[in-house]
Amino acid sequence: MATAGISFMRSWYAQEYGILFGSDYFLDPLRRVPVDQRIDQVLRHRFPDLPITEQSVFSTFLGVQAPRLRVRFAPVHVLQVALGGSLHLSEDQDPWVEGESLDIAAFCDMGMSALADYPLVRQMLEQYATLEAAYPGEPIYFGGIREIAEAQSVLTASASLFGTALFEAMLLTPALAFRAMDRVSKLLCELVDLFAARRGDRATAIHLGDCSATMLSPAQYRTFGVHYNSALSRKYGACEIHSCGACSHLIAEFARVWNVRWLELGWGTDMTRARDMFPRTQLIARLSPVLLREWTPEQVRAQVHSYVAAAGSGPLHIAVVGVEAGTPDANIYALFEAANGS
């Protein structure tokens, strides 16, 4: 037995139902709320027997109800925009930032104001205040779900800022790489603490989006990934490592990170090995949305049963993030039915 969750691409909503997003959706919270309500109505009507909402992909195993009110920019977006990137808001995609990769040495010596003074952060704080006034007492997602903060790992945030130069520095000038990543770590913590203070709570765990991890060797990850992930896990009490690429070669290194409470592993990762290294940890097995679209229901069920067998008696959640238009509903039902033991 396992739990399951999915989320849909914004293009799925646009193509299937004509629901569009864009600037108003991302920047005006009072216009966003009715769009999110329509999304949940659409999902309840289409999948009446399944526990699917727009925010349910991970909240199921966390045992919390994901807030319907959200301020929707990630910490890495804030850093990229604060450092000169251009924020793009599309009608059928998630936000993304365009800009030249930063020079690492210049970044290390760059002067910066407090992040709370930057326009995008001020706009996010204004959104929070607007939602708080319009919906008094209702929880608001703002950099985390309850006391679980969400951020990119120092490695992934640094790769977003510096591009391939980061990996060159890791090999050729590791002292410079550490200097830059130390500063990125401080900026991420500044945002996490700012968001938590505005919510009126204190983060007791942190989700670390470690998407760049799969590109590192075990030795490189031990030097850089384990160092920073452990530091943030110790600061906030525990961590979730999210590594959405195939990362069988890093499982033993993930086990070196301090207090990994949840471990999210990408399609192609050896789940049997993961369970051997993490016998009681909550595993989150990612299934490729491309395969969910292309496979038959029988193939989906077989893969889910394989994950369940690999996980043994330990807790398992199966997630598909970014379901695309054209994915058969029968495959989505097969995913949930197989996770529930059917």
Q: Which DSSP string corresponds to 258-316?
A: TTEEEEEE-TT--HHHHHHH-SSSEEEEE--HHHHHHS-HHHHHHHHHHHHHHHTTS-E
Does the pLDDT of residue 196 top 70, yes or no?
yes
Confirm if 72 and 85 have CB atoms less than 8 A apart.
no
H or E segment at 241? strand 239-243
Q: Which residues contact 209 (CB under 8 A, 6 or more apart)?
A: 76, 150, 151, 152, 153, 156, 242
User: 195: how many CB neighbours lie within 10 A of its CB?
Assistant: 25
Phi first, then psi: what are they for 34, rounded to 5°?
A: -65, -30
Q: For 92, which DSSP code? A: S
Summarised one tens digit per residue, pLDDT across range 15-62 is: 999 999 999 999 999 999 999 999 999 999 999 999 887 776 665 555
Angle of the 10-17 helix axis to the 29-46 helix axis, nearest 10? 70
Summarised one tens digit per residue, pLDDT across range 88-128 is: 999 999 999 999 999 999 999 999 999 999 999 999 999 99
pLDDT at 106: 97
pLDDT at 60: 56
Task: Please provide the average confidence, as pLDDT, over all residues in the chain.
Answer: 93
Lowest mean pLDDT among 80-89, 172-181, 200-209: 200-209
Architecture category of domain 3-339 in CATH: Alpha-Beta Barrel (3.20)
Triad 26, 120, 144: Cα angle to 5°: 70
pLDDT at 57: 61
* Report field, pTM of the whole predicted structure over 0.75: yes
Summarised one tens digit per residue, pLDDT across range 51-80 is: 887 776 665 555 556 677 889 888 889 999
User: Domain ranges in the chain?
Assistant: 3-339
Lowest mean pLDDT among 145-149, 164-168, 190-194: 145-149
Name the residue with tokens 């991420």: 188
Extract the tokens encoding 186: 């401080």
* Helix-, strand-, coil-residue percentages of the chain, each rounded to 5: 55, 15, 30
Angstrom distance (rounded) from CA 64 to CA 204: 15
